[in-house]
């Protein structure tokens, strides 16, 4: 066991502040990673503020962060895939049972015994797991992935959650060249969805309520931008989409989008609004359409996604901040005041 | 043009009564069918009473009926698939544009220019199409299907709507031997779903709110019956279903069923509740589950379904009534007082 520097919240109403946490000494199968960058996901804010207590109450101190990118500093005796000096990344999962059908299929995100990167029971040290707002992390090598060396490291960190969360459903529902793909909401997840759909060769339409996002959407790879509050503009696209990715976490009308799907079209939620979404049955029945959801991705697909990003030199658009500005960043996140993801430069933690 | 006997409603508040309607003389591609049996679908009641006026107002007089089974009495010069004396059946569609991608794929149910069997614009005679509560009907042979001669004809009529509406989604979503399949609601559609799922070799679980339906569900082919109001019973099936067919047209909580789906499981609506159904995003996201809908089926699949029924000697459980009891049957239908479908013996119309 050793002491690591971290930023943690001591209660649901506390700001994040400098602290020290215990990390386990690497076991035979572990890699120890010096964290270089950690993206800020909206989930971090929800968990720090205990906003999901009905599902999983937050245990304090809480160290969030599951978009972790760093460099391997040491490896256990049985580690085969990493060596000191390698780039390595960790996403939302740090363990799973490795034996269930989901794990055996490389779909660890569905494992009933998955261990999240933070605020999950820690079987090594007791208490809960601590995330990436820290100078180091220790994980089983199975839950670390390789990072193509050509990528901008700060921009690559958000790939571990915002990236895989949008890449995985588009692969699963067959987004390829020639498909017409909609992206609802141009935030952290949405902007990655646009980049991926464009890279897959799809015709990409961004739906937004903000006219000022139009130029940016086009720059990110959209072919068209539709103002979702303009019923006439929406109507022009009726029955034409193969796939729509809905990255909006606030309440909104999914029926307006379901009507835009063609026969057998699929709309997938990656944002989770707090209240149930009203769905009109006829919108599903008439075109044999589906509404589905998708959570992050498994480890093999996370590696595949990073490799794809390496080949296409694709990363998130990030605003790099020092850890000392994390509380301010949370406030700005609540106002959607970021293009499009904050990434913490963890070198800033050394001065604490 | 010739006069046919029929039962029609003259307004949204009228009972159905004996009347005479015009039918076209068969064109070169038409078959003329003497209607022997016609099933009563809940849609008939909705349309007769103009309950769907927001979507399609009912034009009166209205002759409902789209579960039509009869015998060919004459055929046009270019008809190749039928000859006088053949059994023939007609479902919910009597025409479509035949040129769109859906039609070319044999998925006429999705054609934007489909013509429904009743209350759709009739391009031959003007006015609207008239359905199967009649002694004869004339349709393009493309929209007639063959009926295996071993089937009980009264029980086969409901296959044309209740049958194909449940057969098609189970085929589409891959219900096969070894799959665990749920059926929500044991009515006209639900009881067909149980029979098909059983015939496909699936493990069939019926969900019902009525304890007294248990024995019947088992007789129809269910392996298990779950009382959906018993939370403990429901919980035992959490995360275990490959597919759930939801045949309930009244408001109900779909979330309770979504939670029972395994990873990548699909729940499909074939009943259309009037009000939107609240769907909790997490129930879709956590298992990459989908909620979808499905309308009837195309002509090739309708024929496939009838052939399957012939091979398995599978028909609906029906209560045969004379046409004179149709209004009483509608009242009983509203109270779910039928096991499980009314079929009108159209011989009764001769005495009118």
Q: Which residues of A touch B295 (CB under 8 A)?
A: 285-286, 288
Q: Which residues of B touch A271 (CB under 8 A)?
A: 281
- B163-176 pLDDT, tens digit each: 999 999 999 999 99
Is the bond preceding A340 in cis, omega lying within 30 degrees of 0?
yes
Is the CB of B289 less than 8 angstroms away from the CB of A293? yes
Is the CB of A288 less than 8 angstroms away from the CB of B292? yes
CB pairs below 8 Å between A and B: how many?
108
B287 → chain A, closest CA residue: A110
Closest CB to A277 among B269, B281, B294: B281
Q: Pick from A102, A261, A290 the residue to mutate for testing the B interface (most B CBs within 10 Å).
A: A290
The answer to whether A33 and A71 have CB atoms below 8 angstroms apart is yes
* Residue B251 C-beta-side C-alpha neighbours within 13 Å: 7
The answer to whether B271 and A281 have CB atoms below 8 angstroms apart is yes
Q: Which residues of A touch B270 (CB under 8 A)?
A: 285
Q: Which residues of B touch A283 (CB under 8 A)?
A: 293
Instruction: Please state, in angstroms and rounded to a whole number, the distance separating the CA atoms of residues B20 and A50.
Output: 70
Is the CB of B271 less than 8 angstroms away from the CB of A286? no
Q: Give the 3-state secondary structure of A289-308.
A: CEEEECCCCCHHHHHHHHHH
Instruction: Tell me the helix, strand and coil percentages in chain A, rounded to 5.
Output: 30, 30, 40
Instruction: Please state, in angstroms and rounded to a whole number, the distance separating the CA atoms of residues A148 and A86.
Output: 10
Is the CB of B272 less than 8 angstroms away from the CB of A282? yes
Instruction: Please state, in angstroms and rounded to a whole number, the distance separating the CA atoms of residues B303 and B316.
Output: 16
Q: What CATH number should be reported for the domain whose range is B163-293?
A: 3.40.50.720
Closest CA to B187 of B213, B157, B159, B153: B213
Instruction: Please state, in angstroms and rounded to a whole number, the distance separating the CA atoms of residues B330 and A57.
Output: 52
Instruction: Please state, in angstroms and rounded to a whole number, the distance separating the CA atoms of residues B189 and B164.
Output: 9
Is the CB of A269 less than 8 angstroms away from the CB of B289? no
What is the per-residue DSSP string for B113-178? T-EESSSSB-TTTSSB---SSBSEEEEEGGG-B---TTS-HHHHGGGGTHHHHHHHHHHHTT--TT
Q: Which residues of A touch B107 (CB under 8 A)?
A: 263
Kindly state the helix (H) or strand (E) to which residue B70 belongs, with its residue range. strand B68-75
A306: left (phi over 0), alpha (psi -120 to 50) or beta: alpha
Phi, psi of A336 (to 5 degrees): 55, 30
Chain B residues with CB within 8 Å of chain A CB: 55, 102, 107, 110, 112, 169, 172, 239, 255, 263, 266, 269-273, 275-295
Closest CB to A272 among B270, B285, B292: B285
What letter would DSSP give residue B295?
A: -
B81: left (phi over 0), alpha (psi -120 to 50) or beta: alpha
Contacts 24+ apart (CB under 8 A), B12-16: B12/B48, B12/B49, B12/B50, B12/B58, B12/B60, B13/B49, B14/B60, B15/B327, B16/B48, B16/B64, B16/B133, B16/B326, B16/B327, B16/B330
Instruction: Please state, in angstroms and rounded to a whole number, the distance separating the CA atoms of residues B46 and A348.
Output: 68
Q: Tokens standing for A77?
A: 């005796």
Closest CB to A269 among B107, B281, B292: B281
Is the CB of B294 less than 8 angstroms away from the CB of A288? yes
What letter would DSSP give residue B325?
A: G
- Distance from A350 to chain B by nearest Cα, in Å? 37
Is the CB of A279 less than 8 angstroms away from the CB of B284? no
Phi, psi of A269 (to 5 degrees): -90, 130
Which residues make Cβ contacts (< 8 Å) with residue A28, sequence separation at least 6?
Answer: A76, A77, A78, A79
| Domains of chain B by residue range | 2-161+297-351, 163-293
Q: Pick from A93, A189, A272, A281 the residue to mutate for testing the B interface (most B CBs within 10 Å).
A: A281
What is the per-residue DSSP string for B208-255? ES-GGGHHHHHHHT-SEEEETT-HHHHHTTTT-EEEEEE---S---TH
Which CATH superfamily, name and number, covers B2-161+297-351?
A: Medium-chain alcohol dehydrogenases, catalytic domain (3.90.180.10)
Is the CB of B276 less than 8 angstroms away from the CB of A271? no
Is the CB of A292 less than 8 angstroms away from the CB of B288? yes
Closest CA to A209 of A257, A164, A163: A257
Q: Which residues of A touch B169 (CB under 8 A)?
A: 288
Query: Per-residue pLDDT for chain A (352 aa), expressed as one digit of tens each?
Result: 999 999 999 999 999 999 999 999 999 999 999 999 999 999 999 999 999 888 899 999 999 999 999 999 999 999 999 999 999 999 999 999 999 999 999 999 999 999 999 999 999 999 999 999 999 999 999 999 999 999 999 999 999 999 999 999 999 999 999 999 999 999 999 999 999 999 999 999 999 998 999 999 999 999 999 999 999 999 999 999 999 999 998 899 999 999 999 999 999 999 888 899 999 999 999 999 999 999 999 999 999 999 999 999 999 999 999 999 999 999 999 998 999 999 999 999 999 8
A172 → chain B, closest CA residue: B288
What letter would DSSP give residue A175?
A: -
Place of tokens 């029955």: A239
The answer to whether B298 and B107 have CB atoms below 8 angstroms apart is yes
The answer to whether B290 and A292 have CB atoms below 8 angstroms apart is yes
B273 → chain A, closest CA residue: A281
Is the CB of A291 less than 8 angstroms away from the CB of B291? yes
The answer to whether A262 and A240 have CB atoms below 8 angstroms apart is yes
Query: In this predicted structure, what is the pLDDT of residue B55?
Result: 84
Query: In this predicted structure, what is the pLDDT of residue B100?
Result: 96
- Distance from B107 to chain A by nearest Cα, in Å? 10
Question: Considering all CA atoms of chain B, what is the largest pairwise distance in Å, rounded to the nearest integer?
Answer: 63
Place of tokens 């059926």: B183
Confidence (pTM): 0.96
A252 → chain B, closest CA residue: B281
Query: Per-residue pLDDT for chain B (352 aa), expressed as one digit of tens each?
Result: 999 999 999 999 999 999 999 999 999 999 999 999 999 999 999 999 999 888 899 999 999 999 999 999 999 999 999 999 999 999 999 999 999 999 999 999 999 999 999 999 999 999 999 999 999 999 999 999 999 999 999 999 999 999 999 999 999 999 999 999 999 999 999 999 999 999 999 999 999 998 999 999 999 999 999 999 999 999 999 999 999 999 998 899 999 999 999 999 999 999 888 899 999 999 999 999 999 999 999 999 999 999 999 999 999 999 999 999 999 999 999 999 999 999 999 999 999 8
In A168-240, the DSSP E strands lie at 180-184, 203-208, 224-227
Q: Tokens standing for B5?
A: 């006997």
Instruction: Please state, in angstroms and rounded to a whole number, the distance separating the CA atoms of residues B271 and B247.
Output: 5
Burial class (CB in 10 A: 0-12, 13-18, 19+), A177: exposed
Is the bond preceding B61 in cis, omega lying within 30 degrees of 0?
yes
Is the CB of A281 less than 8 angstroms away from the CB of B272? yes
Is the CB of A293 less than 8 angstroms away from the CB of B282? yes
Phi, psi of A11 (to 5 degrees): -165, 175
Chain A residues with CB within 8 Å of chain B CB: 55, 102, 107, 110, 112, 169, 172, 239, 255, 263, 266, 269-273, 275-295
- Distance from B248 to chain A by nearest Cα, in Å? 11
Prediction ipTM score:
0.95
Instruction: Please state, in angstroms and rounded to a whole number, the distance separating the CA atoms of residues B311 and B333.
Output: 30
Burial class (CB in 10 A: 0-12, 13-18, 19+), B210: middle
The answer to whether A343 and A323 have CB atoms below 8 angstroms apart is no
Phi, psi of A130 (to 5 degrees): -115, 135
Q: Pick from B276, B280, B294, B296 the residue to mutate for testing the A interface (most A CBs within 10 Å).
A: B276
Is the CB of B293 less than 8 angstroms away from the CB of A292? no
Query: In this predicted structure, what is the pLDDT of residue B48?
Result: 97
Instruction: Please state, in angstroms and rounded to a whole number, the distance separating the CA atoms of residues B318 and B163.
Output: 13
- Distance from B27 to chain A by nearest Cα, in Å? 31
- Distance from B56 to chain A by nearest Cα, in Å? 13
* Residue A223 C-beta-side C-alpha neighbours within 13 Å: 13
Query: In this predicted structure, what is the pLDDT of residue B54?
Result: 85
Instruction: Please state, in angstroms and rounded to a whole number, the distance separating the CA atoms of residues B336 and B330.
Output: 10
Instruction: Please state, in angstroms and rounded to a whole number, the distance separating the CA atoms of residues B214 and B198.
Output: 16
């Amino acid at each position: 066991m050793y002491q690591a520097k971290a930023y943690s919240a001591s209660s649901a109403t506390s700001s994040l502040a400098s602290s020290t946490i215990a990390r386990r000494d690497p076991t035979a199968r572990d890699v120890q990673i010096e964290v270089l960058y950690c993206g800020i996901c909206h989930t971090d804010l929800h968990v720090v503020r205990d906003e999901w207590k009905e599902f999983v109450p937050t245990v304090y101190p809480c160290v969030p962060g599951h978009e972790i990118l760093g460099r391997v500093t040491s490896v256990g005796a049985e580690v085969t895939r990493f060596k000191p000096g390698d780039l390595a990344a960790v996403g939302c999962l740090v363990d799973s049972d490795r034996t269930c059908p989901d794990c055996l299929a490389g779909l660890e995100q569905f494992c009933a015994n998955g261990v999240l990167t933070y605020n999950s029971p820690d079987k090594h040290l007791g208490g809960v797991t601590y995330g990436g707002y820290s100078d180091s992390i220790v994980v089983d090598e199975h839950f670390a992935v390789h990072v193509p060396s050509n990528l901008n490291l700060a921009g690559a960190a958000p790939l571990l959650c915002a990236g895989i969360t949008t890449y995985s459903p588009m692969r699963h529902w067959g987004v390829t060249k020639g498909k017409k793909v909609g992206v609802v909401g141009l935030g952290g997840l949405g902007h990655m969805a646009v980049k991926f759909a464009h890279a897959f060769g799809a015709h990409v339409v961004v739906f937004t309520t903000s006219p000022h996002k139009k130029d940016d959407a086009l720059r990110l790879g959209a072919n068209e931008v539709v103002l979702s509050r303009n019923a006439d503009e929406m109507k022009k696209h009726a029955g034409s989409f193969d796939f729509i990715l809905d990255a909006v976490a606030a309440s909104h009308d999914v029926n307006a989008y379901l009507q835009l799907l063609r026969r057998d079209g699929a709309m997938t939620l990656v944002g989770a609004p707090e209240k149930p979404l009203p769905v009109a049955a006829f919108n599903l029945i008439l075109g044999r359409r589906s509404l589905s959801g998708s959570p992050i991705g498994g480890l093999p697909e996370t590696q595949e996604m990073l490799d794809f990003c390496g080949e296409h030199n694709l990363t998130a658009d990030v605003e790099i901040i020092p850890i000392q500005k994390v509380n301010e960043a949370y406030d700005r996140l609540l106002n959607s005041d970021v293009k499009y993801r904050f990434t913490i430069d963890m070198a800033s933690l050394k001065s604490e």
